[in-house]
Chain A
């Protein structure tokens, strides 16, 4: 019962921006959008999260639509090392519902 929908796979040219979409049309007002990535056979790594406003850190930018029903993770200058599975999840911070559910994610392949 994943609450997010992502494309199965995407390709990107090295040096170009990678834009990974995520649909979370049933998101609740107190749920944050989180992004993680998993490089082959390793544990997932946190990238970024946000509630309503766009966010940027040293790894990526997160653009959340005004209605919060979708978001886009942007890797501004993709490198070969960004090839990974990217997971978009929604979760509540605090409260009694701390379940953390992942979908199948998007396999991003960065090509030379």
Chain B
């Protein structure tokens, strides 16, 4: 069935290591988004993309990188340059046209860096 899948649900990494979070959608949506959420806080936009091989920095892009080689996939790499990587990461996708282009979210990946 259609949806947006993030994996893994929980991820543990040692400080100084890069880590890549997966996000796949089979909804044929053009736009994809990555957000970070800290305890008790709202969603902060990291990166977003509307088309293959194109993406834009969000409000907190430093220490993160993304790629969009396929329409269905938008992986996020948390690099060692990110000072406080421990957080809940959410991926979303959305159509760009139509009468009801709401965004669909994955169930998130909780990253813990020790």
Instruction: List residues of chain A with CB under 8 Å of any chain B CB.
Output: 1-2, 34, 36, 41-46, 49, 85, 87, 93-94, 98-105
Which residues in A have their C-beta under 8 angstroms from that of B104? Answer: 46
Which residues in B have their C-beta under 8 angstroms from that of A103? Answer: 42
- Confirm or deny: B16 has a beta carbon within 8 angstroms of a beta carbon on chain A: no
Asked whether, in the complex, the Cβ of B45 is within 8 Å of the Cβ of A99, the reply is yes
Which residues in B have their C-beta under 8 angstroms from that of A36? Answer: 103
Asked whether, in the complex, the Cβ of A100 is within 8 Å of the Cβ of B45, the reply is yes
Interface centre among B31, B58, B90, B101, by most A CB within 10 Å?
B101
- Confirm or deny: B1 has a beta carbon within 8 angstroms of a beta carbon on chain A: no
Q: How far apart are the CA atoms of A103 and B97 in the complex, in Å?
A: 23
Instruction: Considering the complex, give the chain A residue whose CB is closest to the CB of B96.
Output: A98
Interface centre among B50, B98, B103, by most A CB within 10 Å?
B103
